[in-house]
């Protein structure tokens, strides 16, 4: 792919990655000699993670901002963001955000391509953790391509064949030639193939990831939950197949993650704090280390310089419904109020933490708590199992998986309500929304079903279509493809 990406200097603290920056003081492409040592390979991988937690990727735009505003969980009055909330994608004011996501995503992919190409010339004889290195790099490359596909391409069920034929460039070579467009179907095939390869390479994580993590694991093979690990590969395969619509395959991989017994639901007493500023040592399958979680949420949400406010009727999402459902601990644990100048408003404290919390924000990578955000958590695997079983006609099995999450959040199981409730897809989707609020996933749930989008704090509703479920490609990308 001809590089439209400008290699910008990225400067913020992440792990002990000074060596990565020292090797490339001008943020130039990593040199081949970096891959002559295990430390060099690890620094290169840490450099990818550094890129991924910048604000143009999962530090903001691709996680809690763009998909949360598009999914109508948050309403922003800041600058040009109201256009985004109304799904007015073609506004010049919003296009720069999409371009930044695109170019930074492909910047990370270019780093990964360089790592993979260099590793292909090595073997386990060269590095003790060779398989982990290769597995991480392949898995990350697939995961980033998948999110670019979800953001910028029409869904695989679209009837627009021309749009489906031109999804994203799936870039696997580290050079400056133009990579042809992959179709949506081809992109899925490549993503799945790479995740399957990653799963094979990462088999050692069965040993490296203990069932009970305490938060002080050290070294490259220690804090594996902060790396793209074996269970991340399996969980991502479940998510990819689910998004594609292949529920049978999605169930296979979700079941693998659940049966690994490496992940569990947090105790009810910790619902309000287990995700605040940190990776959950119980529920997170894969997370990204990021010491800026609190400050960024504070800037965007409290100072209203981005996300702004929760939709006005957010409490209705968590409203008790049905016979004796019990109390949903997520409502009280993940939301609070903030008062300024005598005016009180609702805020989401799920990942940010409460403003009265004085917990140190300088906790280190191996200091007992992993600062950052989750990329994928165990509840999602249960929702996939529930939907797949419901689709197969196993209503009681589906209800069991959904009830596992429901009861873990303090509510009465559907099976134990009087009379017992037979669950529907709507029940599963309602629980998905409640559980993943603020984590950047709801918009993709809507896209998968081509659902209408009810504009927050408004009576307007926009019918599902390719137009609202595919962000516009950067014009610069088209400029390099005059004959395509």
Query: Is residue 79 included in any domain, yes or no?
Result: yes
Q: Which of 287, 297, 351 is nearest to 143 (CA)?
A: 287
CA 425 → CA 252, 393, 399, 434, distances in Å?
19, 12, 11, 14
Query: Is residue 481 included in any domain, yes or no?
Result: no
pLDDT of residue 369: 62
Quote the number of domains for the chain.
1
Query: Is residue 6 included in any domain, yes or no?
Result: no
Which residues constitute the domain of residue 287?
18-476
- Rounded to a whole number of angstroms, the CA Rg of the chain reads 22
Strand bridging mode 335-340 / 168-169 = unpaired
pLDDT of residue 8: 32
Residue 240, token pair as written in the block: 């990819």
CA 183 → CA 108, 149, 203, 358, 479, distances in Å?
21, 10, 31, 49, 19
Task: State the Cα–Cα distance between residues 32 and 295, nearest whole angstrom.
Answer: 36
Query: Is residue 5 included in any domain, yes or no?
Result: no
10-residue averages of pLDDT along the chain (484 residues): 34 34 36 84 95 96 95 94 94 90 96 96 94 98 98 98 97 88 98 98 97 85 95 98 98 98 96 91 95 89 91 86 72 90 90 62 48 96 98 98 96 90 95 96 98 95 97 84 62
Task: State the Cα–Cα distance between residues 383 and 258, nearest whole angstrom.
Answer: 11
Query: Is residue 378 included in any domain, yes or no?
Result: yes
CA 268 → CA 204, 274, 411, distances in Å?
32, 10, 11
Query: Is residue 9 included in any domain, yes or no?
Result: no
Q: With contact defined as beta carbons under 8 Å apart, do 325 and 412 qualify?
A: yes
Query: Is residue 13 included in any domain, yes or no?
Result: no
Q: Which residue has the tokens 């792919």?
A: 1
pLDDT in tens, 428-444: 999 999 999 999 999 99
Q: With contact defined as beta carbons under 8 Å apart, do 423 and 402 qualify?
A: yes
**pTM for the predicted model, two decimal places:** 0.91
Q: With contact defined as beta carbons under 8 Å apart, do 251 and 385 qualify?
A: yes
pLDDT of residue 91: 87
Q: What is the CATH number of the domain that holds 307?
A: 1.25.40.390
DSSP string, 332-392: HHSEEEEEETTEEEEEE-TTT--TT----S---TTSSS-BEEEEEEHHHHHHHHHHHHHHH
């Amino acid at each position: 792919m001809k590089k439209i990406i400008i290699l910008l200097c990225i400067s913020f603290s992440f792990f002990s990655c000074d060596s990565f920056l020292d090797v490339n003081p001008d943020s130039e492409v990593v040199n081949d000699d970096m891959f002559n040592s295990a430390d060099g390979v690890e620094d290169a991988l840490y450099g990818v993670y550094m890129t991924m937690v910048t604000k143009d990727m999962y530090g903001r735009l691709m996680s809690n901002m763009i998909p949360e505003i598009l999914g109508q969980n948050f309403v922003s009055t800041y600058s040009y963001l109201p256009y985004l909330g109304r799904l007015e994608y073609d506004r010049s004011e919003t296009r720069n955000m999409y371009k930044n996501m695109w170019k930074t995503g492909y910047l990370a992919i270019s780093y990964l391509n360089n790592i993979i190409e260099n590793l292909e010339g090595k073997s386990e004889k060269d590095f003790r953790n060779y398989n982990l290195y290769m597995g991480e790099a392949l898995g990350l490359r697939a995961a980033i391509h998948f999110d670019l596909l979800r953001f910028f391409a029409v869904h695989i069920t679209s009837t627009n064949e021309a749009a489906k034929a031109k999804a994203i460039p799936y870039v696997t070579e580290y050079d400056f030639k133009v990579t042809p467009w992959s179709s949506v179907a081809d992109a899925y095939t490549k993503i799945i193939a790479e995740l399957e390869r990653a799963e094979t390479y990462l088999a050692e994580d069965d040993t490296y990831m203990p069932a009970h993590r305490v938060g002080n694991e050290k070294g490259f093979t220690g804090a594996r939950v902060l790396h793209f690990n074996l269970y991340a590969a399996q969980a991502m395969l479940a998510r990819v197949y689910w998004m594609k619509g292949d529920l049978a395959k999605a169930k296979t991989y979700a079941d693998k993650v659940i049966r690994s017994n490496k992940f569990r639901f947090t105790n009810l007493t910790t619902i309000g704090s287990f995700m605040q500023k940190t990776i959950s040592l119980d529920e997170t399958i894969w997370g990204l280390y990021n010491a800026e979680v609190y400050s960024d949420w504070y800037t965007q949400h409290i100072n209203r310089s981005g996300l702004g406010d929760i939709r006005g009727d957010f409490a209705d999402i968590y409203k008790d419904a049905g016979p004796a459902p019990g109390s949903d601990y997520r409502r009280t644990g993940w939301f609070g109020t903030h008062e300024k100048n005598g005016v009180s408003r609702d805020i989401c404290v799920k990942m940010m933490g409460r403003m009265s919390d004085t917990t140190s924000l300088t906790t280190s990578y191996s200091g007992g708590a992993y600062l950052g955000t989750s990329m994928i958590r165990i509840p999602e695997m249960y929702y996939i199992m529930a939907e797949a079983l419901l689709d197969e006609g196993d209503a009681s099995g589906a209800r069991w998986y959904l009830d596992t999450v429901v009861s873990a959040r303090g509510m009465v199981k559907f099976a134990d309500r009087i009379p017992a409730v037979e669950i529907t897809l709507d029940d599963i989707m309602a629980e998905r929304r409640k559980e993943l609020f603020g984590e950047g996933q709801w918009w993709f749930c809507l896209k998968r079903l081509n659902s209408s989008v009810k504009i927050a704090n408004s009576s307007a509703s926009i019918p599902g279509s390719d137009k609202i479920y595919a962000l516009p490609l950067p014009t610069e990308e088209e400029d390099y493809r005059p004959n395509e």
